[in-house]
Chain A
Amino acid sequence: DGGITQSPKYLFRKEGQNVTLSCEQNLNHDAMYWYRQDPGQGLRLIYYSQIVNDFQKGDIAEGYSVSREKKESFPLTVTSAQKNPTAFYLCASQWETSQPQHFGDGTRLSIL
């Protein structure tokens, strides 16, 4: 069954700690995206990748980092430099630029 898997579902971060959110897809999509959603708000783009070994900053990249070593995987690291990391993080993939994006179930990150 094809889809996008995000893990973990819930994550807690301590002060000064880096945490990594996993995103894996078996849809054979080239493009992948990371969004942040705050309560009652829309999705804001953090990073995106159009192809393996290449990625670009989105609108709110500060305090985040990504890698795209494999087509299937696009992990997001929330670094200690991100002072307000509490949010719902959504990963999406896209087959082709004019096509819709498919989303994972998301990861809820909170500060301890």
Chain B
Amino acid sequence: GQQVMQIPQYQHVQEGEDFTTYCNSSTTLSNIQWYKQRPGGHPVFLIQLVKSGEVKKQKRLTFQFGEAKKNSSLHITATQTTDVGTYFCALNAGGTSYGKLTFGQGTILTVHP
């Protein structure tokens, strides 16, 4: 089956520092999605990457999709306390998987003021 590795598992930063989480798949992907889950909350969709080598930005967040469509990263510039939460990548293999997502284990981000 599809394997996904997301690293690091935990990241503690001082407010203002940058943060990056990485996601690697064992198979080529149709697309990859990123979600954020605040403590005690539910996952909320952030973005979807579809094209090889794609880069998308949302304010301080930058998302990249690898050229081989097997890896992705999420980078946050100058973290704020509102960035606290768990960031998940979710892999969509496409084809017969029909919208099924395989979630990474998540990176728990803590931001110290």
Contacts and interface: CB of A to CB of B under 8 A. Distances in A.
Contacts of B42: 90, 103-106
Contacts of B108: 40
A25 interface: no
Interface stretch (B13-21, B64-72, B98-106): B98-106
B92 interface: yes
Interface in A17-61: 31, 33, 35, 40-45, 48, 50, 58-59
Interface of A: 31, 33, 35, 40-45, 48, 50, 58-59, 90, 94, 96-106
A101 B105 contact: no
Contact of B45 (A44, A97, A102): A102
A101 B45 contact: yes
Nearest to A105: B42
Interface residues of B, number: 26
Contact of A41 (B43, B48, B50, B106): B106
Contacts of A31: 98-99
25 contacts: A31-B98, A33-B100, A40-B108, A41-B105, A42-B105, A45-B100, A45-B102, A50-B99, A58-B100, A96-B99, A97-B92, A98-B30, A98-B50, A99-B99, A100-B33, A100-B48, A101-B43, A101-B45, A101-B90, A101-B101, A103-B42, A104-B42, A105-B41, A105-B42, A106-B42
Given A42-B103, A42-B106, 6 more contacts: A40-B108, A41-B106, A45-B100, A45-B102, A98-B31, A99-B99
